[in-house]
Amino acid sequence: MNNRLNGVDFNQLVDEITRQVVSQMKTSAPATAPAAASASAGGCTSDCCECKDGRCVRECSTRVKQVVEQGAGRISSGLGYIPRDLSLARLIDHTILKPDASAGEVAQLCREAREYHFASVCVNSIYVPLCADMLKGSDVAVCTVVGFPLGASPAEVKAYEAQLAIQNGASEIDMVLNIGTIKSGNIKGLFHDISTVVKTCHAHNVICKVIFETSKLNDEEKVIASQVSKMAGADFVKTSTGFGGGGATVGDVALMRRVVGPEIGVKASGGVRNLADAQALVKAGATRIGASAGVAIVKAERGETVSGAGKGY
């Protein structure tokens, strides 16, 4: 990828997006106590951060606001989850989100996740209690989606949905951002949409991933979504729901990684059907893969016979 994006200098575009968000936050936020002019994972303290089982999320809800008011032009957020085991299986969110998924299919998903030690199972929120029960004591997290699949519900509704899922046993939340705010040029609204859910998640030491639906965005909008997600404190940015008419591409993952840098995760989801797909996306910068074909992917990596593949979401 070159250093130009639709005729606009890439770094200048990221800087301009940052300035717009900072400006809107400064004009709407009440005064707070002074704080340092930069924030990063290295600044984590016992007052604002809790680390457990390799997962570290920020719980200081005022940090970003304080940093902005001190004049920061760029904000770095900490990596939500650094996997100790970098095998492909530990990067996979084993997924079933189809509307007609049965309890039996979800139970089978959990059994496979235990056997292959996937990072998580990703299910619709109605099945969170079932998964939490079946995966109790395992190394597999329970992930669910909120605002799914359109992202068009109010931020407070998504936050409530996340809160309920967390109470039922979810330890990771994938939220769909409001695509209409990007299309409307409403960066302040986009920040509110994302940060409202992120704060709810981080109050419970739960990871929050932000789903873009990249097939519906142009490159400049992907840059905006990536930078605003990072500034709002998201732990991951994610390509797709798998239901929006497109999925993860190497180009999109590389673009998202370039914007967010090494500080937060990038999840590639939608259409990831085989080992070659997964490896290419990881090479492009993905640190998590969302796929229903997880078993087939891991078997192929091990050189075992693969009988079939999932739909990739």
The DSSP output letter for 261 is T
Q: What separation in angstroms does the CA of 293 have from each of 39, 85, 185, 290? A: 38, 20, 36, 9
* Separation between Cα atoms, residue 92 and residue 117, nearest integer Å: 9
Q: Are 94 and 294 in contact (CB under 8 A)?
A: yes
3-state DSSP assignment of residue 223: helix
Q: To which H or E segment does residue 182 belong? A: helix 179-183
Do residues 127 and 168 make contact, with C-beta atoms less than 8 angstroms apart? no
Task: Label the pairing between strands 4-5 and 8-9.
Answer: antiparallel
Active-site choice (174, 193, 235, 252) = 174
Instruction: Examine the residue annotation and report whether 85 is marked as an active-site residue of this protein.
Output: no
How far apart, in whole angstroms, are the C-alpha atoms of residue 127 and residue 123? 6
- Eight-state DSSP code of residue 149: T
Of the candidates 199, 238, 252, 277, the residue annotated as catalytic is 238
In angstroms, what CA-CA distances link 117 with 91, 128, 270? 10, 18, 21
267 is catalytic: yes
Cβ within 8 Å of residue 28, ≥6 positions away: 188
Active site residue 299: no
Q: Report the alpha-carbon distance of residue 82 to residue 287 in Å, rounded.
A: 9
- Going by C-alpha positions, the residue among 57, 37, 39, 61 that lies closest to residue 49 is 57
Active site (catalytic) residues: 174, 238, 267
